[in-house]
């Protein structure tokens, strides 16, 4: 709480005023967060929020209002309210306000329970923190609208100052909005008024917190533990940096709650007190510029223990202007705590004109002076100012909040609701597919986004058909792999229903290696102290149960489970099993169904999930070395999680490092009365293909070669995984042996082998090589140029590898060969040389991500590289990139960071103007691979974005909406469209309300039955012809469209062949979204006028909406970018010179002679004044 903290607990109260009437009812409700399984008794799901203030006002009635505070269950009630419709809102001291509109209060009795939900872009319970301190903390996220509040937890008392900023795209991107610096301890909340954090829905950002210097380290909470293993922000992850490097942690998230305007409302003024209260005033006011179409709430900070009633009125222009809307009454609901008061209007009750100035004023009902009215003297709101007794206060703003309806109907636009949660039943869980089912209250489409192991989502599957019973099958999945997925359903006129991130595993295709995986084995009654095959560190409390032990935890399947039960304030136990005969080098996955049941206050836990002293949680772990010490650093643990009163499936994977592997389940907790944990249906399997040669026995060599003293080839114990191949020489000579493997054409492979070689003082060579096709052993000796060496040791040369098992390999592309020959060689020129060993030959098909695109941004000295496939973490190793002009020096690559799983942003040194760089990329496999080998991914030229057409309101389109069949001539460059009208984007007609579209419809089109096709044309000009230029298209389309450039089709969406004026779109779009960017094939752009044309088709002849807008970019080499004509003007002014220029994007440079050397003038902008310090000085502009 803030400085007005209240010490009372467990009490709610209501303050209700209005005319005395016998026709009075009670307004009841709850304020809850979005917790999907916490509930108290039979209440709806969600944690009831304690000590929240709630205010209500009747529609079109000044005298009916109420105020209440929530109890420990989040409940509130306001008795004796006159019958009518009310707007209800929670305060914004700790969270962005929640709203309910048109709440009916009856003449007697109670209203329906009002469900005020606290919304957030990113939400969770930050309860834990790492003890390691860092210079930088970061979180990538996808915005849902302009940010209004960010909440985080700083557990370090007297820690260093932190600065919070938000950046476009990811780490290193340009800053968006204002910065907040603070030293606050524990709960930290930073707020943003209109325009202070203009994040855009659907765009990716990086939230960054830094100390003042790398030597000053801080500690912040993370989203830990995770409910149900769910990811709180699937579009992003945690970043930690020490000042030298910044590392992404894809399976972890920073403990931040991000709140935004994403519900059809706009936060305008949002100010906190700066520490000073004004007293003795009769009125306190604030001017503001309207951003929406009606005011829905106003909050003020007014402290007065006597609890007076306040009047709030809105005036046009300023003090003394005409009143707008209904006068409202209210008072703070928590008089002795944070004294914030809200008054509410129904949408449209207090109408506003966007862009117009208004004045809002509060005074005491019946007159009198304020005891304490809080303001902010740091002038945080640039669109208005505070007034005291009608006089302006310069540099001062009222402490309070103004929230407006964004557009007509946006505040009350309905949302598609889930009527049953998305679920994957056991019958729908296959080895290579998952089928997800759910239901909604209205027919809507079906979208599932998903990713293996951890988000961000790398794939999606969508059914456009509208239904209330949704079924989506995800095909082509890896067996026994953990998948994260998220479900969405949308339809026109409704906000999209978005479910939380969920996890599930596919079934294994190979045998389960665990003994007694479902705890069904054993004898004796329940509970069984001995759990066959497993070891428990707390056997008195961790036993096998048939569901009849403490509180009746049920098994997931079958009759038995493993249950850990502790009656007390702490628990800590491990259950583990060691499995032998595993294969080193292979990937193993351990999964389990788990549940946690915590009891507090004689009931199952329903609140306080952000207190690490009142939580129980679990982890799954794998020790790839086969150790049984649960505290060993070699164990790979999942993040902490809990699964309250339900089973969730969780998994962890590791590559075996010996012939044994150990699985662990860790259960731990603090606080409460009972700690109850359930474990069932455990699985350990490996789904990898086996090695092509494991040397369990001596192979039959397709060919061999010996010269001089032959080596002895044998298989013996002590290999990398079981037995291994070894070669021993007894004198000088050469010995070569080969193996032959089948390969497929047009396939990429990763070839690897483990080698162990000690150093030797003898003159020797030991090597491994391969060639595509059939090759003899002698061929390597006589024609070595046709072979590729994987590894070579020798004296002289690299003298062994320390006698350790090390994997050597490469990635190659097989175009047409049917065979691959692998050869092993030991040679000695004097003496015998060392004993050389080989083991575990792997030849696996792999995906090699190719560089698909590289876009430069000179302003930020960055290059964004997009790959053909999601890439592994090695993509963030800057050493894997070389950037250079062909034949020129390399440009320094200073860092590499993920933008998304398929995109990496490189930070470079200063980029030269108009330099045509090429990026060369090496050693990066796709995200599903773990191998690390040296190979070339490919090269791609660096391009820059050159806008041709934007979605700006100034970019006008020609359009034709008569419904006439125009044939095909309208697509061409020289078509006469002079009779077509012009219109600004977006163009169309949309029945949905609020922010359902990415931008406003600025040109209204008319719809009519059987009018299926609408035509659009947009000319643009270029100063020169551009050959073979890649294009990038983005569009907003409802329902389908075909695009043409100078008459040639370049893109289509939601359309099939053939295309006529009556062809219906092949998809139905609910609320049109910005789609793309779509990369288009290179084209010829003409000097002078070019035309982009589009035809938009309806999905049905009676469709109720149509939307169109498009943006087109050319991706040019820097040398291709047209250079605008720019004039540098120099005007003498005494002993000074004033330089001016009109163009943007240019830098001023100076030199002592016309031949240089030239240097950029720091911070120079037009006009720029120069004091003459040299007898001669030259200036120029560069881009």
Q: What pLDDT shows up at residue 371? A: 93
Q: Is the pLDDT score of 1124 beyond 90?
A: no
> Could you tell me if 985 and 1108 are in contact, meaning their C-beta atoms sit under 8 angstroms apart?
yes
Tokens at 892, concatenated: 């320094």
The average pLDDT across 697-710 equals 93
The average pLDDT across 399-426 equals 95
Q: What pLDDT shows up at residue 931? A: 67
474-478, 1035-1039, 1079-1083, 1158-1162: which range is least confident on average? 474-478
Strand partners, 908: 893
Fold match flag (265-405 vs 704-845): yes
Q: Is the pLDDT score of 1004 beyond 90?
A: yes
Q: What pLDDT shows up at residue 940? A: 93
Q: Say how many Å lie between the first and final Cα of the chain, rounded.
A: 52
Work out the pLDDT band at 376, boundaries 50, 70, 90. very high
> Could you tell me if 533 and 663 are in contact, meaning their C-beta atoms sit under 8 angstroms apart?
no
Check: CATH 2.60.120.200 for 704-845? yes
Work out the pLDDT band at 269, boundaries 50, 70, 90. very high
Q: Is the pLDDT score of 880 beyond 60?
A: yes
Work out the pLDDT band at 779, boundaries 50, 70, 90. very high
DSSP conformation letters of 1035-1081? EEEESEEEEEETTEEEEEES--SS--TTPPPSS--SS--EEEEEEEE
Second CATH level (architecture) for the domain 418-505: Sandwich (2.60)
Work out the pLDDT band at 992, boundaries 50, 70, 90. confident
* CATH value of 535-685 in 3.90.1150.10, 3.40.1190.10, 3.65.10.10, 2.60.120.260: 2.60.120.260
% residues pLDDT > 70 (the chain): 97
Radius of gyration of the chain (CA): 35
pLDDT, tens digit (0-9, with 9 covering 90-100), for 800-838: 999 999 999 999 999 999 999 999 999 999 899 999 999
Q: What pLDDT shows up at residue 1022? A: 84
> Could you tell me if 644 and 672 are in contact, meaning their C-beta atoms sit under 8 angstroms apart?
no
Is the bond preceding residue 225 a cis peptide, omega within 30 degrees?
Answer: yes
Work out the pLDDT band at 2, boundaries 50, 70, 90. very low
Which residues have C-beta within 8 Å of that of residue 818, sequence separation ≥ 6?
A: 742, 743, 745
Which residues have C-beta within 8 Å of that of residue 132, sequence separation ≥ 6?
A: 219
Strand partners, 1131: 1138
Tokens at 594, concatenated: 């788990």
196-200, 582-586, 1025-1029: which range is least confident on average? 1025-1029
Q: What pLDDT shows up at residue 243? A: 93
CA distance 1103 to 1106: 8
- CATH topology for 950-1120 is Jelly Rolls (2.60.120)
DSSP conformation letters of 10-23? S---EEEESS--S-
DSSP conformation letters of 63-96? S-EEEEE--TTSEEEEEEEESEEEEEEE-SSSSP
Which residues have C-beta within 8 Å of that of residue 20, sequence separation ≥ 6?
A: none
Q: Which residue has the higher pLDDT, 272 or 6?
A: 272
* CATH value of 851-938 in 2.60.40.10, 2.60.40.1220, 3.40.50.720, 1.10.10.60: 2.60.40.1220
The average pLDDT across 225-239 equals 94
Q: Is the pLDDT score of 19 beyond 80?
A: no
Q: Which residue has the higher pLDDT, 38 or 229?
A: 229
The average pLDDT across 629-647 equals 95
Work out the pLDDT band at 993, boundaries 50, 70, 90. low
The average pLDDT across 948-973 equals 93
Phi, psi for 242 (deg, rounded to 5): -105, 10
Quote the DSSP letter at residue 134: B
Work out the pLDDT band at 14, boundaries 50, 70, 90. very low
Q: Which CATH class is domain 265-405?
A: mainly beta
165-174, 774-783, 1119-1128: which range is least confident on average? 1119-1128
Tokens at 516, concatenated: 């007694």
Ranges of each domain in the chain = 14-117, 136-260, 265-405, 418-505, 535-685, 704-845, 851-938, 950-1120, 1129-1182
Looking at every residue in the chain, the average pLDDT score rounds to 91
| 14-117: CATH superfamily | Immunoglobulins (2.60.40.10)
Q: Is the pLDDT score of 758 beyond 80?
A: yes
């Amino acid at each position: 709480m803030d400085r007005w903290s209240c010490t009372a607990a467990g009490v709610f109260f209501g303050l209700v005023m209005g005319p005395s009437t016998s026709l009075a009812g009670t307004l009841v409700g709850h304020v809850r967060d979005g917790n999907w399984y916490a509930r108290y008794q039979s209440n709806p799901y969600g944690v009831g929020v304690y000590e929240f203030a709630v205010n209500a006002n009747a529609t079109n009635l000044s005298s009916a209002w109420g105020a209440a505070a929530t109890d420990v269950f989040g409940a509130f009630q306001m008795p004796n309210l006159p019958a009518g419709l009310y707007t209800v809102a929670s305060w914004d001291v700790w969270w962005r306000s929640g709203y309910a509109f048109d709440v009916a209060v009856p003449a007697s009795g109670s209203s329906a329970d009002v469900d005020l939900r606290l919304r957030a872009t990113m939400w969770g319970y930050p309860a834990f923190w790492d003890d390691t301190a860092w210079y930088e903390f970061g979180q990538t996220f996808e915005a849902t609208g302009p940010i209004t509040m960010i909440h985080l937890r700083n557990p370090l008392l007297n820690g260093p100052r932190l600065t919070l900023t938000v950046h476009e795209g990811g780490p290193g991107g340009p800053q968006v909005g204002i910065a907040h610096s603070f030293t606050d301890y524990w709960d930290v909340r930073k707020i943003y008024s209109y325009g202070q954090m203009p994040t855009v829905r659907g765009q990716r950002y990086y939230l960054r917190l830094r100390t003042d210097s790398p030597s000053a380290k801080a500690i912040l909470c993370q989203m830990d533990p995770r409910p149900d293993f769910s990811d709180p922000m699937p579009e992003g992850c945690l970043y930690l940096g020490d000042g030298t490097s910044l590392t992404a942690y894809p399976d972890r998230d920073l403990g931040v709650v991000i709140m935004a305007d994403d519900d059809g409302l706009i936060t305008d003024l949002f100010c906190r007190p700066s520490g000073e209260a004004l007293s003795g005033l009769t009125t306190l006011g604030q001017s503001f510029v309207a951003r929406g179409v009606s005011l829905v709430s106003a909050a003020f900070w007014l402290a007065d223990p006597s609890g007076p009633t306040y009047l709030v009125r809105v005036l046009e222009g300023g003090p003394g202007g005409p009143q707008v809307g209904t006068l409202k009454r209210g008072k703070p609901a928590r008089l002795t705590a944070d004294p914030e008061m809200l008054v509410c209007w129904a949408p449209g009750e207090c109408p506003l004109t966007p862009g117009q100035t208004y004045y809002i004023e509060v005074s005491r009902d019946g007159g009198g002076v304020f005891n304490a009215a809080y303001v902010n003297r740091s002038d945080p709101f640039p669109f208005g100012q505070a007034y005291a007794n009608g006089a302006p206060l310069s540099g001062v703003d009222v402490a309070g909040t103004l929230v407006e309806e964004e557009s007509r109907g946006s505040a009350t636009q309905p949302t598609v609701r889930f009527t049953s949660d998305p679920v994957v039943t056991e019958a729908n869980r296959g080895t290579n597919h998952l089928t997800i089912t759910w239901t909604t209250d209205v027919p809507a489409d079906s979208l599932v986004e998903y990713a293996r192991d951890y988000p961000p989502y790398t794939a999606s599957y969508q059914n456009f058909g509208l239904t209330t019973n949704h079924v989506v099958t995800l095909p082509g999945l890896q067996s026994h792999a953990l998948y994260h997925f998220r479900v969405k359903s949308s339809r026109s006129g409704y906000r999209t229903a978005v479910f939380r991130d969920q996890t599930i595993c596919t079934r294994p295709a190979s045998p389960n290696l665990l003994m007694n995986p479902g705890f069904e084995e054993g004898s004796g009654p329940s509970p069984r102290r001995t759990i066959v095959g497993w070891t428990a560190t707390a056997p008195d409390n961790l036993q096998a149960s048939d569901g009849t032990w403490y509180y009746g935890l049920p098994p997931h399947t079958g009759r038995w489970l493993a249950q850990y039960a502790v009656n007390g304030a702490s628990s800590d136990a491990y259950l583990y099993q060691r499995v032998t005969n595993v294969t080193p080098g292979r990937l193993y996955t351990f999964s389990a169904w788990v549940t946690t049941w915590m009891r507090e206050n004689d009931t199952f836990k329903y609140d306080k999930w952000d207190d690490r002293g009142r939580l129980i949680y679990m982890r799954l772990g794998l020790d790839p070395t086969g150790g049984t010490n649960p505290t060993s650093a070699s164990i790979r643990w999942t993040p902490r999680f809990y699964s309250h009163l339900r089973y969730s499936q969780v998994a962890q994977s590791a590559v075996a490092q010996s012939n044994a592997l150990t699985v662990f389940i860790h259960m731990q907790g603090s606080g409460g009365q009972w700690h109850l944990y359930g474990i069932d249906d455990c699985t350990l399997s490996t789904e990898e293909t086996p090695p092509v040669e494991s040397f369990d026995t001596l192979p039959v060599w397709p060919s061999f070669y010996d010269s001089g003293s032959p080596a002895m080839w044998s298989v013996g114990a002590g290999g990398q995984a079981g037995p291994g191949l070894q070669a021993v020489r007894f004198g000088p000579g050469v010995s070569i042996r080969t193996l032959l493997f089948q390969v497929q054409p047009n396939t990429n492979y990763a070839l690897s082998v483990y080698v162990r070689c000690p150093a030797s003082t003898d003159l020797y060579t030991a090597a491994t090589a391969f060639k595509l096709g059939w090759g003899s052993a002698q061929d390597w000796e006589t024609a070595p140029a046709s072979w590729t060496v994987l590894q070579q040791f020798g004296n002289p040369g690299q003298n062994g590898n320390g006698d350790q098992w090390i994997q050597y390999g490469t990635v190659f592309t097989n175009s047409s060969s049917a065979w691959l020959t692998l050869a092993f060689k030991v040679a000695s020129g004097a003496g015998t040389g060392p004993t050389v060993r080989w083991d575990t030959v792997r030849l696996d098909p792999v995906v090699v991500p190719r560089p698909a695109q590289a876009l430069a941004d000179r302003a930020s000295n960055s290059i964004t590289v997009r790959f053909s496939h999601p890439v592994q973490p090695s993509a963030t190793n800057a050493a894997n990139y070389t950037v250079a002009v062909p034949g020129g020096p390399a440009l320094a690559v200073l860092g590499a960071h993920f933008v998304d799983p398929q995109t990496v942003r490189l930070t470079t040194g200063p980029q030269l103007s108009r330099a045509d760089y090429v990026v060369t990329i090496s050693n990066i496999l796709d995200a599903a691979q773990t191998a690390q080998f040296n190979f070339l991914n490919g090269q791609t030229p660096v391009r820059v974005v050159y806008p041709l057409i934007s979605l700006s309101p100034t970019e006008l389109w020609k359009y034709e909406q008569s419904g006439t069949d125009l044939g095909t001539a309208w697509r061409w460059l020289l078509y006469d469209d002079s009779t077509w009208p012009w219109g600004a984007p977006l163009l169309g007609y949309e029945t949905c309300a609020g922010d359902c579209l990415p931008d406003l419809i600025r040109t209204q089109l008319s719809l009519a039955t059987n009018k299926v096709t609408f035509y659009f044309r947009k000319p643009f000009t270029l100063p020169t012809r551009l050959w073979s230029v890649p294009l990038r298209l983005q569009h907003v389309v409802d329902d389908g469209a075909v695009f043409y450039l100078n008459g040639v089709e370049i893109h289509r969406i939601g359309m099939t062949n053939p295309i006529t004026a009556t062809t219906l779109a092949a998809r139905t779009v609910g609320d049109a979204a910005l789609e793309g960017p779509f990369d288009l094939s290179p084209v010829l752009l003409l000097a002078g006028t070019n035309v982009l044309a589009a035809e938009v088709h309806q999905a049905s002849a009676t469709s109720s909406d149509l939307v169109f807008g498009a943006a087109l970019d050319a991706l040019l080499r820097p040398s291709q970018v047209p250079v605008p004509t720019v004039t540098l003007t120099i005007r003498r002014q005494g002993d000074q010179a004033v330089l001016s220029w009109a163009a943007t994007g240019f830098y001023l440079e100076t030199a002592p002679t016309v031949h240089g050397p030239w240097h950029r003038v720091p911070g120079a902008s037009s006009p720029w004044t120069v004091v003459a310090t040299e007898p001669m000085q030259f200036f120029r502009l560069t881009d």
